[in-house]
With several copies, the nearest count.
Chain A
Amino acid sequence: MTESVSSGGERPLHLQLGLTDAELEEIVSILGREPNEIELSMYSIMWSEHCSYKSSRIHLARLPSEAPWVVVGPGENAGVVEIGDGLGAVLRIESHNHPSAVEPFQGAATGVGGIIRDILTMGARPIALADPLRFGPIQAETAGGPQGVTEAEAARNRYLVKGVVSGISSYGNAVGVPTVAGEFDFAPCWSGNPLVNVFCLGVMPLDHLVLAVAANEGDYALLLGSTTGRDGIGGVSVLASAGFDDAAASAKRPSVQVGDPFEEKRVIEACLELFEEGVVSGIQDLGGAGLTCATSETAANGGKGMRVDVAAVGRREEGMVPAEIMASESQERMLAIVAEKNLERASAICKRWGVTASIIGKVVPGDNLAVVDSSNEAEDVRGLGFESSELVPVAEVPAASLSEGPKYERPMGKPASIEAMRQDSPDSLGAGPPLADALMNLLADPSIGSAEWAWRQYDHQLFLNTVAGPGRDATVLRVKGTKRALSFSCDGKARWCELDPRLGAAHTVAEAARNVATTGARPIALVDCMNFGNPEHPEVMWQLSEAVDGIAEACRALDLPVVGGNVSLYNESGGRDIWPTPIVAVLGLIDGLTAPPPPMGWNESGLSVYLLGQTRAELGGSAWAWRHFTHLGGEIPMLDLDAERRLGELLRTLAETDADTRSSLISSVHDCSEGGLAVALAECCIEFGVGLAADLSEVGELESLEPHEALFSESAARAVVSVQSENEAALLAAAHHSGVTATYLGSTGGNRIALGMVDISLDEATDAWAGALERALR
C-alpha cells in the first residue's frame, strides 16, 4: 500500500484501507468506541481476505480433519501427523501468487521463505519443499500454443516462468531445504496471474511440538531475525487480497520484498536449537500482517493479553510510525515467547547464530493487545514500554477480535456457461490428428513433458533422504534413524474443475493418493491450496464451495484427513477469473523401506506389461482435446472412489519391497493421468530407453473404443505395471483379489513405442518429451 495511514484523502480512511462500512461498524461495537488510525490499520490487515479467510471459512469447515494419527489439524501454522517412532510429519501448503505476478523471482523466493517458517514454527526441521506452478501459455498460437495466444503474451509468461523457477532455486538451495517435487501446467486463464504454490514438509520428535501460544503471564515476546522495514506494508491487503490490472501492478512495485535466505537459514538453526533446549513456551512466524498477526494470535491462543513496545523493534528504515511497524511484512522474522528465566539462554543461542533477538513485548493479564511507543520517553524507559503499565497505549484492542475476523456467507451461483460447456462433448471433434502426431504432440507439451529443466536447478538431494526424487509420480524420502519413509505428491486438475469443480476436485485428491500408492505408501494426510477467482463473483463462490465438497467427499472415501491448507482468492487475468484451481498435496507413509520402490519405467526387455483398471471413452477435459483443439467441454471422467481405493491398496501391495529380496513383485509402476494410456506407456519407455511392443485392442472391455479413445482417454483409477514372467500369475491373482481388472498389453524391448494402432520411434519420443519445457522456454 502506498498511501500512508494518516493521509486524509477524500475517501474515509477505513475504505482506503479496504474495510467496508459494515466492518467499521463491527469494530466500533467491539471497542465500544471509534478506533484510532493505528487500530484501524491493524483491523484492516487482519480482516483482509488473506488473513481472515472471511469468504471461505464457512466452506472449509466442511473438510474432514480428524483421524487417530492427526496430532495437529487445521488452524495452526501447519498440520502434524504421527508417523511412528515418536516422530511427527509436519506439512503445509501456501500460495504466493500475487507477489510473483509483480516480481517473479522475489515473489517465489519469499513464498519459499514463508512456508518454511510455518513448518519451523511447529518445532520441526523443514526437510523438503515442492512447488506446484501454473502459468499462462509459454508458446504463442503460431508456435503450437493454445488458440489466441500472442507472442508478446507468451514471452511475458516465459519471463515469469524463468523468474519463478530461479527464485525458488535461489532461495530454496541457499536456505538449505531441498526442493524435491513440483508441477507445471499452462493455460490462458493464468496469463498475468501465475499460481505459485509451495508445499513444505518437516519432521520432528513429537515431544518437541511447540504451539503459537503466549499462555504465561510475565513471559516475554522476543522478535528474532531480520530488522523491520517498510517492505510489504499492506502487502497482505493490497498484494494478496485484491485483483489488479497492469497499471495498479506498477504502482505497487515499491512494496516488493526481497528474500534473504542466509538470514532465514540462521533463524532456522537458532530456532531448532531453542526448541532442542526447551527454552521457548510458544512461537509464531511473522508472515502476512507481521507483528499484528503474530502478537494477537499468540495472545489470543493463550487466552492472555500482550503489551508490545514498537520502540523496541529494530528497524532498517527511518521515520517508521507505529502502524507501519505493526503491519510490516519484512521477511525472515519469528516471534518467540520465552519465560524470564530462559531469556539469557535464548539470547545466547541467537547470538551464536548471528540472529538478532530483541525483547519487544510481554504477556500480561487480560485479553487485550496493547501497543505502546516509548520512543520519546527517557532513555531508561525507552524500548521497555512493555514493562510499565503507565505508558498510554497508542492502540489497544481485544487480541482475539483481530484474529477471529468477520465471516461471510457470500452469494453463490452456478456459472451460466457451465451447462453449455458440458454439452459440448469432444465427440464433435472426430478422431483428431493422425495418432502418431497426436502422441508426439502430447509428449512435447510443456504441461506433460519433462520438467527436468526446472528441477535440475533445485537442490533435490540435501539431507540424503531422497530415495525417489522429482520426475516421479510421487517423491519418496526416507526418515533416517527409522525404517520408515514418507512419500508425497502435489496435484491439480484445473481443466476438470472448470467443467465440474466438485468432481474435478475429488479427482485431484484421488490422483494424488494414487501417485502416493505407486510408491508403496499408505496416504495419511492432505493439505490443500484453494486458488480461485474473485469471491465477490457468485460463480467463484459456487466453484469454491463445490470444490470443497469434492475434496471432502474424496477424503472421506479414502480416509484422508485434511490437516491444513491455504486459500488464495482474487486470482484474475484480463478481467476474468482463473479456472478453479484447487491444488492438493497428499502425504503417504511407508512403514518399512529397505530398497527404492519400483521405478516408473521398465529397465529391461522381456517384461510383461499390464494395464490395471478400466478404460472408458472419456475425453472430456482431456489433454488430447485441449492440445489439439483448445477444446474444453463435455463430461469429465467418472470417479469411482471405491475403485480408487481398491487400486490404491493393490498398488501398495505390488510396490512394497520385500525386506529379504529387496525387490517387489512388479518391476515398474506408473499411473495414467494427463494424456491417457498412450502417454503413460511412452513415459515408461522413455525413462530407461526400453521400448514396447503392445496391442491395445483389448483395452476397454466395457465399451468398444475408437483408437484415439483407447490411447488418450483419461479414465481414472488406472496404472501401468510391468512384471517378470515368473511374477505374472501372482500379479493377476493380486489384481483379481482386489477386484481390479488387469489387461495384458504386451512386452518390453526394442527401440519403438509400438502400440498396435500407433508406432513411433523411441528416440524421437524421448527427444520431444525430455526437451518439452526447455524448448518452449527458449
Chain B
Amino acid sequence: MRSKVTVLIRLKEGILDPQGKAIEESLPALGYGGVESVKVGKVIEMIAEGADAAEIESRVRAMCDALLANPVIEDYEVELTAAREGG
C-alpha cells in the first residue's frame, strides 16, 4: 500500500513561539486586527509505502519520535490520506 502521509508538528503548550509572536505583533500594523494566539508549526508531507495503514502510521510515528519532531519542545500529529500515486 502507498499512502500520502501528513505530519503536523507544533510547539508544545507553554513553549514560547517567537515566530507566532512576531506575526501576531505585525498584523495590526498591516491592518489585520482581530487575530490572536498565532502559532507557527511545520507540516511535513510524504509518500510512504507499507503493508497497511497501521503499519505505515506506526513507522511514521517512529520517524517523528526519532527525527521529525523534537520531543523536548514539540508535539506532532500523523494523518494518512487516501492512498495515491505521485506526490
Bind each other: yes
List the interface of chain A (C-beta within 8 A of B). Answer: 102-103, 105-106, 229-231, 253-254, 256-263, 316-317, 330, 354
User: With an 8 A cutoff between CB atoms, is B84 at the interface?
Assistant: no
B16 touches A262 (CB 8 A): no
Our pick among B11, B18, B73 for the contact of A263 (Cβ within 8 Å) is: B18
A230 touches B14 (CB 8 A): yes
B14 touches A317 (CB 8 A): yes
Provide the bound-state CA to CA distance between A354 and B25, in Å: 10
- Which chain B positions have C-beta within 8 A of A102? 72
Residue of B nearest to A249 (CB): B72
B72 touches A316 (CB 8 A): no
Our pick among A106, A254, A261, A354 for the contact of B14 (Cβ within 8 Å) is: A254
- Which chain B positions have C-beta within 8 A of A317? 14
User: With an 8 A cutoff between CB atoms, is B59 at the interface?
Assistant: no
Q: How many A-B residue pairs have CB under 8 A?
A: 38
A260 touches B72 (CB 8 A): no
Closest chain A CB from B31 CB (angstroms): 12
Our pick among A103, A105, A253, A316 for the contact of B16 (Cβ within 8 Å) is: A316
- 16 A-B pairs with C-beta separation under 8 A: A103-B70, A103-B72, A106-B73, A229-B16, A231-B14, A231-B15, A254-B14, A256-B15, A256-B73, A258-B16, A258-B18, A258-B73, A260-B18, A260-B21, A316-B16, A354-B25
Residue in B11, B18, B21 with the greatest tally of chain A CB atoms within 10 Å: B18
Knowing A229-B16, A316-B16, A317-B14 touch, does A256 contact B22 (C-beta < 8 A)?
no
B72 touches A229 (CB 8 A): no
Interface of B is mostly: loop
User: With an 8 A cutoff between CB atoms, is B42 at the interface?
Assistant: no
User: With an 8 A cutoff between CB atoms, is B57 at the interface?
Assistant: no
Our pick among B16, B17, B21, B25 for the contact of A257 (Cβ within 8 Å) is: B16
Provide the bound-state CA to CA distance between A253 and B73, in Å: 7
Residue of A nearest to B25 (CB): A354
- Which chain B positions have C-beta within 8 A of A231? 14-16
B22 touches A262 (CB 8 A): yes
B14 touches A258 (CB 8 A): no
Provide the bound-state CA to CA distance between A262 and B16, in Å: 13
B73 touches A103 (CB 8 A): yes
A256 touches B25 (CB 8 A): no
Residue of B nearest to A250 (CB): B72
Provide the bound-state CA to CA distance between A607 and B22, in Å: 46
Per the 8 Å Cβ criterion, residues 28-67 of B in contact with A are: none
Provide the bound-state CA to CA distance between A364 and B55, in Å: 53
- Which chain B positions have C-beta within 8 A of A253? 72-73
Top-10 shortest CB links A-B: A260-B18, A258-B16, A103-B72, A253-B72, A256-B73, A258-B15, A256-B72, A230-B14, A231-B16, A254-B14
Closest chain B CB from A259 CB (angstroms): 8
Identify 5 new A-B residue pairs, CB closer than 8 A, beyond the known A106-B73, A254-B12, A317-B14: A103-B70, A253-B73, A258-B15, A258-B73, A260-B16
Provide the bound-state CA to CA distance between A262 and B11, in Å: 18
Provide the bound-state CA to CA distance between A253 and B14, in Å: 11
Closest chain B CB from A1 CB (angstroms): 14
Residue of A nearest to B17 (CB): A258
- Which chain A positions have C-beta within 8 A of B18? 258-263
- Which chain A positions have C-beta within 8 A of B22? 262
- Which chain A positions have C-beta within 8 A of B21? 260
Residue of A nearest to B13 (CB): A254
